[in-house]
Every structure is written in structure tokens, then in C-alpha cells.
Structure 1
Amino acid sequence: MLKALVNQQTFDIISDKSGTSINGTPLEWDILEVRNNIFHILFQNRSYNAEVLEADYQTKSFLLKINRNQYLVNVKDRFDILLEQLGMANAGSAKVNDLKAPMPGLIVSIQVQVGDSIKKGDSLLILEAMKMENVLKATGEGKIKNIKVNPRQNVEKNQVLIEFE
């Protein structure tokens, strides 16, 4: 079972051996992938062109363009629904206050400065461990509060490297 929130409207989607239904109504459609992320859909004797403009699989958020209209779709799978029922819906989105060394190693370079605003995925520093360079990236948005290490410094596992505001 999936729950899809499309432009503030919720849909319950169930797929099983007998087919797919949306809000209890069987879904009868034909869909063909024309090119990567571009689809042609036949539904209720009407033709639709659909394109996936953006896809964030981690947050299960998608921006779709169907004909000339854009739709923001947020999906929850059965695990997300269960966590929500248990009151743990935001368990995975806790604020990160610092970056810790995932393993012992040597700081090769630091690519941010105190006061820098960062976005999810931005490179923060390079840690050399076991003869490999590992780029440590931001897991969310924030601002650099303090850098607790210097280049060419050895660090231990779980040592705080960078603090965020």
C-alpha cells in the first residue's frame, strides 16, 4: 500500500495480484515509457504525456509534468505509514548538529569555512583512510558554526570534525 499526496489531495494506492486500485477504484490504464523519464499514458479514453522533472528517492518526492500541468507528488510506503502510526514519522529527519569522523584517518583538505551556508550534498572535507580519499558531504542544510580540525591532522572514529548552527 502507498499513500500519495498530490497537490494537497491524498490517494490510497493498492497493488496486488488482481491489479492496482486508487481509493478503492480499479485503475485501468496503459503506460508506455517513450524515453528516459518520459511516458505516454492512456486513461479513460484520453491520452496524456507525462515527464518526471525531478525525483528525490530519499524523501520520496517527485515533480511530474502531465500535459502542461505540473504536480508535486509525495509518496509514503507501508513503512512510512507504520512509522507515522507509531508516532515516529520524523525519526529519520532529526537535526544534525555536527559531523563526526566515520573512521580514523587523516584530514586531507577542508572545503568549507566558518559561516558558510551549506546544502545537502555539499562537500565538506576529505578524509583519507586506508589509502582511500573519502569526501564527507552535508546530510542537510545549515551553516558552519565551528571547524574543529585542521588539514593534515589525524582524527579518531567519532571525533567531531565540524559543528553546525
Structure 2
Amino acid sequence: MINYKISVDDEEFAFSEEQTSQLDLLELEAGKFHVLQNNKAYRANVLYSNFMDKTLTIEVNGNSYQVAIADSYDQMVEEMGLSVNTSQKVNEIKAPMPGLILDILVEVGQEITEGTPLLVLSAMKMENIILSQGDGVLKSIEVAKDDAVEKGQLIIEME
């Protein structure tokens, strides 16, 4: 069973849960990894990550790659034709994971569109830029810089 489809630049790879658990991967420090694959060593650095749209920019042995991850749920939605990207009005934006607010990139009253960077959330020693998933006007920002947030906590309210 394919659990993950991973697109790296223009190539697509499929991995099962078992294959991912067998990766020989060691985190050296935040966002920096040592990987062994087929008796070859690789240095991998996470340069950018966006948890909401499951994308990463990874540098491996000095080469940069754009990576997109689709889990089994994402694949099912795609197969059903439900992944149409239409802008929608969003009322609440909640923290996708526990972490620390490093920066707020928007202001109350600002009109935003889908994909607008809203804030920077540090989680698991990586910086994640939280993007708007729809259009709207910022009604309130419920967090401040340096606030700790829990997964699912309301961070921005829109109208």
C-alpha cells in the first residue's frame, strides 16, 4: 500500500509506511540530517518548510530540491476530484501544531488573499510560514510575538 507520494522537482516517488520507517536518518541539529542510502552518505538540510501545504525546500549535498508530500488522505482527495483550488472565505485560522510565534506578518483590518503569509511559527526547531487558506479581512489577531500556542488554538480571526 502506498502511503506517501513525494514529488521532488519534476519526479514523483511512492513510499509505504514500512519504507519510511526503515530510513537510516540521523538529525545532527535542527533541520540538518545525515542520511545513509545504499551505502552512500548524504547531508540534508531543510531550508524551508510549509506545514500547511506540505512543501519543503531541501538541500542535499549542496543541491537544492523542491519537495511536495501527499499522504494517503491527500491522494484520496485528489482521486475523488475534490482538490479544486478555489478561493474561499475563511473565518478562523488555527495553529496547525504547537509552537512559538516568531513573527506576525499582517495587521488587523488588512485584506488578504489565499496564500498571503500571515505569521512565522517555530515548531520542532523549524520555522514554518503560515499562509492564508482563503480570502478575507483580518478581524483580530489572537496571538502576539513570542506567544506559545497549542495545536488547534485560534490565532487569527477573519471576516
Shorter-chain TM band = 0.5 to 0.7
Alignment of 1:4-15 (within 5 A): 4-15=6-17
Please tell me whether residue 71 in structure 1 is matched to residue 53 in structure 2: no
Length-normalised TM-score, structure 2: 0.58
1:52-100 CA distances to partner (integer Å, 9 max, x unpaired)? 111111111111011100111101110111111111122xx43135x65
* Count of aligned pairs: 114
CA distance, structure 1, for counterparts of residue 73 and residue 29 of structure 2: 31
> Is the CA contact (8 Å cut-off) linking 1:125 and 1:135 kept in structure 2?
no
SS in 2 for 1:65: strand
Greater Rg over alpha carbons, structure: 1
Percentage identity across paired residues of the two chains:
23
Alignment of 1:53-132 (within 5 A): 53-90=47-84, 93-97=85-89, 111-112=108-109, 119-121=116-118, 124-126=138-140
Which amino acid in 1 is paired with 2:25?
Answer: I
CA distance, structure 2, for counterparts of residue 101 and residue 43 of structure 1: 42
Length-normalised TM-score, structure 1: 0.56
CA distance, structure 1, for counterparts of residue 156 and residue 64 of structure 2: 34
1:118-163 CA distances to partner (integer Å, 9 max, x unpaired)? 62316923289xxxxx76357xxxxxxxxxxxxxxxxxxxxxx4xx
CA distance, structure 2, for counterparts of residue 80 and residue 39 of structure 1: 26
Pair 135,79 (structure 1): closer, same or farther in 2 beyond 3 Å: closer
Aligned to 1:145: none
What is the root-mean-square deviation in Å for CA atoms of aligned residues?
3.3
Unaligned runs of 5+ in 2: 94-106, 120-136, 143-153
Which amino acid in 2 is paired with 1:136?
Answer: I
> Is the CA contact (8 Å cut-off) linking 2:35 and 2:41 kept in structure 1?
yes
